[in-house]
Amino acid sequence: MRQFLHLFLVASAFGSPLEKRVSGTSVVNLGNNTGSPMHLASGILYGIPDTPDQIPQNLYEDMGFNYARAGGAQVAAPGRGWIWGLTEYKNRFASALSNYQTARTYDANFIFLIHDLWGADGTQNSTAPYPGDDGDWSDWDDYLTHWISDIKANNATEGLSVDIWNEPDETAFWNAPQAQYFQMWGRTYHRLGTELPSVKLIGPAFAGQPDASNDWWTGFLSFVASNTSVPDEWVWHMEGGGGDMEGAYGALFNLLGTYNLPNNPLNIDEYSTYAEQVPAGSAWWISQLERVNAIGLRGNWLSGSQLHDFLASLLSKPNADNSNYSATGGGYFPNGDYQVYKYYNLNMTGYRVGSSPSADLKLDTYATVGSDTVKVLTGARITTGTWQVEINDLSAVGLADSGTLNIHTWSFPFTGGHFGEVDGPTDLGWYEHTYSGNNVTFPIYQTDNSTAYAFEFLRG
């Protein structure tokens, strides 16, 4: 009876649970310790105000903020970057430096976007110059000279990485020949490697995921192998609303074998669409990134001053979404998506355990085993339906291989949307599950496309 109540509560918008077909099962294996949680997915693209301390400290700390990425894009005029002259370069640099300094306050790493500082942030006009146009590299060389000097003058190398160019496979960011991009990569990599040896050089930050039939990937890997300009981290973006991390990493792994390249760490420095930036979508992405040990930075779908605000759509404030919005205003509060990152950072402690997504890749699960409690976070990829979570090897956490298990359920609603206020998850109570065979299985009734769930139970 209690078990039925549990199902009924989680499924309140549904009819009888028995009528609903289960689409698949996400499996947690408690016996598979995959190491310490480092909340790898807690990075953000932009989202940091250029005024230090505008967002209160606890809002950075509680979400586990540990990675930032910026380069002064879309700052107030005059600030269109190097291609518009030194003053417009300086204004972008000041924004990026401020964001860097904020990041370092929290011991977060920082990825400098030198394409944005150059001026290719996607708002540049159709005749804007690119490095090496007509075989002339003098302007790019001069630009790098200024940038290297400014980085050194500001002691800004600690925790610093450089994405040599963002999404060159998109004409919005690189409207010049592919071969010219490879030359730019080779020149820039070797110069920065010599002049800023402690700075990580990462890339290629393609919009497209690794794929043996994508000539940006094959051309790039072939070039860096022959040019000895292998990035310190393999970077690409997952913002198309499709794909999955095991598939994408598997394709990269095979390509690295083909070109005899090292299996360097992964950095997905833009992940999730705006629609996926909801509790269920974030739980799904956290599970995906953690499984392959990829660093992840949330994409940012806001523009203008809002690009430099709200920690990449995790926060809101009064007038956030109306014409009275103020770039420098305060009064910040968390949205529903924020609560997932807070739980992931502060509550999911101990050690991680392996899991697998449902076969249809729609439901995924991230789990940790703490000194007292097992915690399982789950979310569907912004869709509705019925799936199951199966938790195997209960004896690995000291439980009997059959009996009853009391599970504490929490929901993470997205009340009010990206600009709504949610101050914590909702307690759905404790419910008993009878199990045998050393595993317990329970359904997830995903009746909306945004709510994530967490399940907690005591170890034996």
To ligand NAG, the closest distance from the beta carbon of 82 in angstroms equals 9
To ligand NAG, the closest distance from the beta carbon of 45 in angstroms equals 20
- Window 363 to 422, contacts with ligand NAG (CB under 6 A): 382, 392, 410
Interface size with ligand NAG, residues (CB under 6 A) = 39
Binding residue (CB under 6 A) for ligand NAG from 267, 368, 439, 451: 439
Among the candidate windows 66-74, 247-255, 308-316, 433-441, which touches ligand NAG by CB under 6 A?
433-441
To ligand NAG, the closest distance from the beta carbon of 191 in angstroms equals 9
For strand 373-380 and strand 385-392, is the pairing parallel, antiparallel, or unpaired? unpaired
Annotate each residue in 78-117 with x if it binds ligand NAG (CB under 6 A) or - if it does not, as one string.
-----xx---------------------------------
Annotate each residue in 165-184 with x if it binds ligand NAG (CB under 6 A) or - if it does not, as one string.
------------------x-
Binding residue (CB under 6 A) for ligand NAG from 22, 76, 212, 346: 346
Kindly tell me which of 58 and 213 has the beta carbon lying closer to ligand NAG. Answer: 58
Annotate each residue in 33-62 with x if it binds ligand NAG (CB under 6 A) or - if it does not, as one string.
-x----------------------------
The sign of the torsion formed by the CA atoms of 418, 115, 246, 41 equals negative
Residue 180 has a CB neighbour count (10 Å cut-off) of 18
Binding residue (CB under 6 A) for ligand NAG from 9, 59, 94, 128: 128
* Cross-strand pairs, 374: 369, 457
* Under 8 Å between Cβ of 374 and 397: yes
Binding residue (CB under 6 A) for ligand NAG from 39, 237, 291, 433: 291
Kindly tell me which of 202 and 213 has the beta carbon lying closer to ligand NAG. Answer: 202
Binding residue (CB under 6 A) for ligand NAG from 133, 438, 443, 447: 438
32 is a site residue for ligand NAG (CB under 6 A)? yes
For strand 43-45 and strand 67-70, is the pairing parallel, antiparallel, or unpaired? parallel
- Window 143 to 162, contacts with ligand NAG (CB under 6 A): 155, 158
Residue 17 has a CB neighbour count (10 Å cut-off) of 15
Kindly tell me which of 54 and 447 has the beta carbon lying closer to ligand NAG. Answer: 447
Contacts of 274 (CB under 8 A, 6+ apart): 299, 301, 313, 418
Annotate each residue in 184-223 with x if it binds ligand NAG (CB under 6 A) or - if it does not, as one string.
--xx--x---------------------------------
To ligand NAG, the closest distance from the beta carbon of 213 in angstroms equals 25
- Window 2 to 21, contacts with ligand NAG (CB under 6 A): none
Kindly tell me which of 171 and 213 has the beta carbon lying closer to ligand NAG. Answer: 171
Residues that bind ligand NAG (CB under 6 A): 29, 32, 34, 83-84, 119, 124-125, 127-129, 155, 158, 183, 186-187, 190, 227-229, 275, 291, 322-324, 343, 346-347, 354-355, 382, 392, 410, 425, 436-439, 449
